[in-house]
Structures are given as C-alpha cells and as structure tokens.
Amino acid sequence: MTDDLTQTAMATWAAKDLPARLLSAQVAKVLNCSTDDIAILVTAGKLKPLGRPKPNAVKFFSAIELIALLADRDWLDDATKTIILYWKRKNAHRKGLPLEKLSDGALTD
C-alpha cells in the first residue's frame, strides 16, 4: 500500500469511527453484501482475515486494509464477479445444469 493511500485510508477510518478489527457482519455491511458473501471472498482469497483463524473460528478483518480495498475499483469488480460466479455455479449445480448452459458466458470458466 502506498503512503498516500495509507494516509487516505487512515483519514477515512478515523472519520467513520470504525474499530480497527471488523467482524464479518461489519465487513458485509460496509461492502453491502451478506455474511455468506464474505465467506466466499475469504475462501477465494479476495479478503484475508487477521491472524490464522481456523475455518470455524470468528474472523476479524483490518478496517484500514478494507478501506484501501474499497478504493480499488478493480478489486471491487473482481470481488463482485467472484460472488456472482459462486452463486451461478451453486444454482446451476442445484438445478442440475452444466456450467456451459449458463446464460452469461463471460463469468463461466
């Protein structure tokens, strides 16, 4: 993270009165998604929890790091595509459809 981006993230964090560590529900609120979507992003490696939590442990996320990611449009685009692709695959699997039959070919493998 560059110094300018760090300074901007720190200023935003201070102005929003956010704690330094955020729970999944707080991150979901900031990203305007569900807590299930946060788990998807963690599994895909798009979000990294603090420490080395076990899969079933409560996960905390860095507020500063999250604010920096929010400033990156490419990351937001990639995270959105990751969530969309996950749910498309899950729904296709549930309906017994092969992925090739999905209407939006851009998001399939």
pLDDT tens-place string over residues 32-78? 999 999 999 999 999 999 999 998 899 999 998 998 898 899 999 99
Higher pLDDT, 15 or 45: 45
Decide: 47 and 97 in contact? Cβ < 8 Å: no
DSSP assignment letter at 17: T
| Structure confidence at residue 109 as a pLDDT band (50, 70, 90) | very low
Cβ partners under 8 Å of residue 31, min gap 6 = 37, 38, 70, 79
Question: Distance between CA atoms of 6 and 67, rounded to whole angstroms?
Answer: 9
pLDDT at position 2 over 80: no
**Whole-number Å distance between alpha carbons of 10 and 13:** 5
How much is the pTM?
A: 0.77
